[in-house]
Every structure is written in structure tokens, then in C-alpha cells.
Amino acid sequence: MPTLNWIGKDKVVTHHQEVPYKVLEHQYGFRSNDKDNKTETQSGNMIIHGDNLEALKSLLPKYENKIKCIYIDPPYNTGNEKWVYNDNVNDPKIKKWLGEVVGAQGEDLSRHDKWLCMMYPRLMLLQRLLADDGVIFISINYTYECAHLKLICDEIFGYHNFLGELTWESTTQPINSGSARFKLQQKVEPILFYAKNKRIKDSFILEEIESNLKYPHIGKLGACRFEIIEKSNAGGYERPTMQFEILGQKPREGKRWQIGADTADELMRNNRLEIVDGIVKKAVYPEDELDKRKFKPFWSHFSANAVDTAMYGKELLNLIMGYSVGFDTVKPPKLIEALISYLPSDSIILDSFAGSGTTAHAVLNLNKKDGGNRKFILVEMEDYAESITAERVRRVTQGYGEGAKAVEGTEGEFDFYELGEKLFKDDNHLNENIDDEKIREFIYYSETKESLTRERTEEAKYLLDTYNSTGYYFYYEKDRLTTLSYDTLNIVTEKAEQYVIYADICTLPQEMMAKNGIVFKKIPRDIKRF
């Protein structure tokens, strides 16, 4: 398979593994129906302020392989440095990161090299977060990075998992400058569409077209229609072998069965044959005719009439906020609604380039329309994450606009987080400023790739949980060294086939540990990084 090479690629291909793990620090909870209560909502809706590369790493313990849908709208790398966010990969934060990761070589990178270096590790982490039956949509434009993005997505997600390219009619207004006659006018923008694993048969949820298939009767398994399975037994249709008993009955005078004995046996085993009005009939249920049902297709093009334009998205954002925000183009909520409407109504939707928060707006709108329970996770690195992104979501839940332009609130909740400190200090020791519950979550995930959900008790204060017949223990105290010895084996509170125990020191004999299935891991040396 062709792959794309650029200056700095060798430094970023595995960089996602080196990204420091930072904890998420809860700042406040927001409830549209109780604005004074700032405690954690536990709603599952999250807005995170911080570098999206680090934020994605921090989401792994709870969300790896659990995100049903990812929608991202990364910077298009247009060269515009006058926008609210810098679209020339020249933001001081990105420049600092490139200097640290790529090194001196980063000074020689072209704008396109920088963009690819920025995107690659983020896409690698997004791929890990995506569920096995999940999908990712990526908005881009044709002019700058579309071809490059397609190649690195083929590499990360697999070219065989490419589901197609969607197009969105982003504008209906031409450029009315004197130079317009010298330019090709771009009317649509592409959205690249990938699955985590295309081979998993998880159909999209499509709107069914009304058909003439009717099920007016009630059979053993519910609504159905009954079909006669007899036909004439005269002339060329006469077949003595089709005169056997079904449900204790033979065909009526001058008739024969249309089905053979083997087929009849199978239908009877599946409760598809019944005696109705004294006649053996076949019951046909909706699930028997799935191939005859018709659905509106998932078309690859979204017109402006159907989902609105970027200009409408900008005007809507300004209306919601009550002032001109400064975003030149904004995705309209209907576009995101259209994409996620094809997925289950309890999906988790992740947007790690959240911008003004359109994705959360779309999730809230769609939940209100169909009663769904979709959750959103937004990540925004810029300083407006609170003042614009979160504020927009607040206003959408409560209602916005005045007079004829007033829009009723969707209601909803979310929690706002900041990226906290690194779990490991630069000397690789545990950061003792961090709550040990966060450390416990990290260790359990590093061992099992599962989220730690078990509540800690005083009786089993060092137990993380038991998983696949292995008990995991974190024997850790901030103010003293812990020693795994005969005297401290009472920390083991649940019987298991094997025990993985973290402690500072171990004095147990190797023979004894082998006999009892005990694996000692030294803090912090043996804590896995991911």
C-alpha cells in the first residue's frame, strides 16, 4: 500500500506512546435545571480544556475502544493566521511542541510537514479510542491537506476500512471579487469516512420507506400474515409425493402441498406453520422479509438545503452568543446531526477539535428530537474553551435568542475539566500531588485495559479489582515505603488464581510466590506506560 513520507514523520509515528499521561481535573458541573449545583454531574458529557493530544491520552483508561463515533474538524492549514485560531500550524503551542518532538529539524519543516506531524499522533490515539464497531468522520477541504489526510488515514485506520468520501455543500454564495474569474469556486467540502473495522456487520440506522408489506394477523410469534401452501394437484401439477401430513392434516381434495417434507419440518420447528380456519397455512413475519423492506439510503452528499451552510453556522453561533465571535466558518448543527443520526441513539460522540462546540449542540438537538441518550466529549485547546465552547453549550440547553428568533432550550448537563499534572514526574517517580485514586485507575487500566469501576473500601483498601481470575493490588502509601512480606499478606482480601501486587519492596521468597501465584511489581519501576 502506498504511504506518505514527510520531514519529521519518523519522530511522530510512535510519539503517541510517549505522550505524558495527565489526569483530568474536574472544574465544575453544569445542569440546565439546577445552575447553582456545581458538583460532578456523572452525565457522561464532558468538555475538556487542554492540548488535545494529551487529553486523548488521558481518556484512554475509561474510553479506549468505547467511542462509537468520532467527528473532527481539524484546522484546514489554509495559511490564515488572522482567525480566532491560527490555521498556519504556527500557533505558539504547536511550535513549542514541534520543537520538543521533532527537534531542530522542525525549523525546516514546511507548513504541510508541520500539519502532518501535528495530525498523525492525534489520529493514532483516536484510532485506539474508537470502538470496534465505531466510525470516524473527518472534515477537511480539497485545496490543502485532503490528499495527505487520506493517505495517513489509510495508514492508521487501514485503507480497507475506508467507507467513502462524503460531500457537504458548504456554501451557496460565490466569491464576488474582481479576481473570482481566475479561481475555481469550491462549493463542497469533503468528509472522510472510516470504520474501525469494516468487517463488523453493524448496519446504519436508516429510515424505512413505507411499503405494501402488511401483517394483519397474529401468529404464535406476533404480527404476521398467513399464506396458503396448497396448490392444484391436477394435470401437469399432480405430484403424489406432495400428499404427506402436516400438523396431522393432508391437503384438501384436489390439492397438494407447495413445499416438500424437509421444508415443512423446518418451518414447523420455527413455528412458521399453523392451522388457521381449518387449513394449514404458513405464517410470514416481518423478520422473514428483511430483504423486501426498503430504506432511505445513506447518501454521500449533504445539500445546503438539507443541513445548512458554513455561513449559517457562523450566523447561528453569533446569535447564540449574542455577539460576533470571530469564527469565519462554522459547521452547522444539522450537518453533525445528519452524520450521527445513522448511529445508535446511545452512542458516545467525541470531537477533539471542538471549536465553538457545534458537535455538542448537534447531540443535544438530536436527543431532544428523538429521546436519545447520546453523550458528547469535547476537547478544545484554545483559551476560549470556557468562554465560547462551554458557554455555547450552556445557552443551547437553556434556550437562546429573542422574539421571533427565540429557540427553546434542549436541557442537558456536562462536566468541565482542565488537564492536570503529569502522573509521572520527570524522574519517572509517581507524582504524589495526584490523588491516589487516579493512580489506581491508571495501574488497573495498564494491567487489564479495563476501566476501574469497583469502589474502594476500608476492608480492601489496597485491592483494585479481580479480573480474569487475577487479583490486582496496589499496596501504596504516600508517607511511607510499603513492604510485601509474610506480615503484610493480609492485604490480600479476595481469593484468586493469581495475584499481581504492587509495592515498594518485597521480602517474600521466590519459591513461595511461585507456589501461591504471586507476582510482585515494584513501584514505580514496574508500572506500565501506555
| Per-position DSSP letters for 184-229, written without gaps between them | ----EEEEEEEES-TTS------PEEP-S----EEETTEEEEEEE-
Q: How confident is the model at residue 83 (pLDDT cuts 50, 70, 90)?
A: very low
pLDDT at 231 over 50: yes
pLDDT at 81 over 60: no
Q: How confident is the model at residue 96 (pLDDT cuts 50, 70, 90)?
A: confident
Q: For CA atoms 448, 453, 459, 461, give the dihedral sign.
A: positive
Q: What is the pLDDT of residues 415-459, one digit of tens each?
A: 999 999 999 999 989 999 999 999 999 999 999 999 999 999 999
Report, as an integer, the average pLDDT of 135-150: 95
Percentage of the chain lying above the pLDDT 90 cut: 79
Question: Do 75 and 89 touch, CB atoms closer than 8 A?
Answer: yes
Instruction: State residue 89's pLDDT score.
Output: 63
Angle at 414 between CA 409 and CA 417, to 5 degrees: 140
Mean pLDDT of the chain: 92
Total-model pTM: 0.84
Domain ranges of the chain: 9-175+191-207+296-422, 208-292, 436-522
In terms of Cα–Cα distance, which of 424, 436, 428, 528 is closest to 476?
436
pLDDT at 15 over 70: yes
What cell does 505 get? 519492596
* Helix pair angle (310-321, 391-398), 10° resolution: 80
CB atoms within 10 A of CB 93: 11
Q: What is the pLDDT of residues 476-520, one digit of tens each?
A: 999 999 999 999 999 999 999 999 999 999 999 999 999 999 999
Q: What is the pLDDT of residues 290-311, one digit of tens each?
A: 888 888 889 999 999 999 999 9
Say if residue 332 is exposed, middle or buried (CB neighbours under 10 Å; 0-12, 13-18, 19+): buried
Instruction: State residue 85's pLDDT score.
Output: 47
* Helix pair angle (111-129, 52-63), 10° resolution: 10
Q: Which CATH architecture has domain 9-175+191-207+296-422?
A: 3-Layer(aba) Sandwich (3.40)
Report, as an integer, the average pLDDT of 279-286: 96
Report, as an integer, the average pLDDT of 198-222: 85
Report, as an integer, the average pLDDT of 76-95: 64
Q: What is the pLDDT of residues 28-61, one digit of tens each?
A: 999 999 989 999 999 999 999 999 999 999 999 9
Q: For CA atoms 255, 260, 265, 266, give the dihedral sign.
A: negative
Question: Do 471 and 499 touch, CB atoms closer than 8 A?
Answer: yes
pLDDT at 408 over 80: yes
CB atoms within 10 A of CB 9: 16
In terms of Cα–Cα distance, which of 50, 309, 37 is closest to 187?
309
Of the listed ranges 109-113, 261-265, 371-375, the one predicted with least confidence = 109-113
> Which amino acid would we find at residue 179?
S
Of the listed ranges 64-68, 205-209, 419-423, 472-476, the one predicted with least confidence = 205-209
Instruction: State residue 201's pLDDT score.
Output: 62
- Bridge partners of 71, per DSSP, are 137
Report, as an integer, the average pLDDT of 457-480: 96
Q: How confident is the model at residue 166 (pLDDT cuts 50, 70, 90)?
A: very high
